[in-house]
Amino acid sequence: MKINGNAVRPGYVIEHKGRLWRAAKIQHTQPGKGGAYLQVELRDVRDGTKLNERFRSSETVERVRLDQRAYQYLFNEDEMYTFMDNETYEQISIHKDLIGEPVDFLQEGMTVNIESYEGSPISLTLPDSVVMTVVEADPVVKGQTASSSYKPGVLDNGRRVMVPPHIEAGTRIVVNTADSSYVERAKN
């Protein structure tokens, strides 16, 4: 679908120079001389490279529609991760590099959203938070609880997280998947 160059918004996926790009940041600029333009920071959907581009309102760009579907994580074999479509029960395998850093938070049976373009997956989105178990946490230093300090803890997936002093080994906590930060103690 063709759109004006100044209609690009953050999150849009566009086809530009033969590649797929996701708009990360935009800035409207109106110089004293000449026409206004839109300065857009683009990130390549497949390899993550950045590109800064200027689009004028007279230009048109191709906005790409991605297919989003819910998939259930089943298992992994070496660096390939297998997911099942919740509606058709069709299975697909995705390489670890496409998933990126959040791969540590995948749990069996977890529902994820996979975006695909022309049948090939290009990105995967995990839930905002997951419940993990702390397997190792430093003991509390006396008097440290007076200030809002955090101590290092290790989760059952091997990821290091800063946790409050009252969290001990064996405690289940909620972790933000975007930045691996402690959210709260798990309710159950």
Is 188 a residue whose pLDDT tops 80?
A: no
Question: Taking the complete model, does pTM exceed 0.85, yes or no?
Answer: no
Tens digit of pLDDT for each residue in 33-85? 888 899 999 998 888 789 999 998 889 999 998 888 999 999 999 889 999 99
Taken in order of first residue, the domains within the chain and their CATH numbers are 2-63 (2.30.30.30), 67-125 (2.40.50.140), 129-185 (2.40.50.140)
Q: What is the 3-state secondary structure (H, E, C) of the chain?
A: CEEEHHHCCCCCEEEECCEEEEEEEEEEECCCCCCCEEEEEEEECCCCCEEEEEEECCCEEEECCCEEEEEEEEEEECCEEEEEECCCCCEEEEEHHHHCHHHHHCCCCCEEEEEEECCEEEEEECCCEEEEEEEEECCCCCCHHHCCCCEEEEECCCCEEEECCCCCCCCEEEEECCCCEEEEECCC
pLDDT band at 138 (very low <50, low <70, confident <90, very high): confident
Average pLDDT over residues 143-156: 76
